[in-house]
Chains A and B, each alone.
Chain A
């Protein structure tokens, strides 16, 4: 079983749409959670950390459900520039990152 699982997509949405991604993780002892964004042939870039209380950064909202061991990312008012692969990342509490395979988002005009 993979440590982190994501729906690979692609999610094809029109500009202005709201889209949500989920991710599940297997290690209940995991402490830190992140969403990274990766553009084609580039390195991952941190989008936001995910806290138990949920957190919001502009059009992006991340939530963590420890009981069900899943993390979500909501993007409102999608822009063309949001097109990318979104990686769910879980830290096993020993500073070791486990990456999901990513969810591809295509925002169309």
Chain B
């Protein structure tokens, strides 16, 4: 149980385009979903927290107009990287939670912006 999927697993896009990443909880309803970013040899950094049906809460330094998060249902959250630049190239990982203490991580999406 507690499986989280992400799609796509790997994407290459051109600078200036937008990319959408999906995060799904497959066998449970996630009241909260989290989006993280991990640069090479660095730790996961929380970008934003989203609760179903409400606006996401962004961490300091994360541009909400650049990283659009939608959490339309209890099993799906999407992250759209708008007007992507090479410095946005990173490993994006989502996690989903149905309780206060556990987060289940998706397999991650590797974004490369050329």
Q: CB within 8 Å of B: which residues of A?
A: 4, 32, 41-46, 49, 87, 91, 95-102
Contact = CB atoms under 8 A, between A and B. Distances in A.
Interface string B33-44: 010100000111
Nearest to B94: A43
Contacts of B105: 43-45
Interface of B: 32, 34, 36, 42-46, 49, 91, 93, 95, 97, 100-103, 105-108, 110
Contact of A97 (B46, B91, B106, B107): B46
Contact of A95 (B36, B93, B100, B110): B100
B49 A96 contact: yes
B43 A43 contact: no
A57 to B, nearest CB: 16
Contacts of B49: 95-96
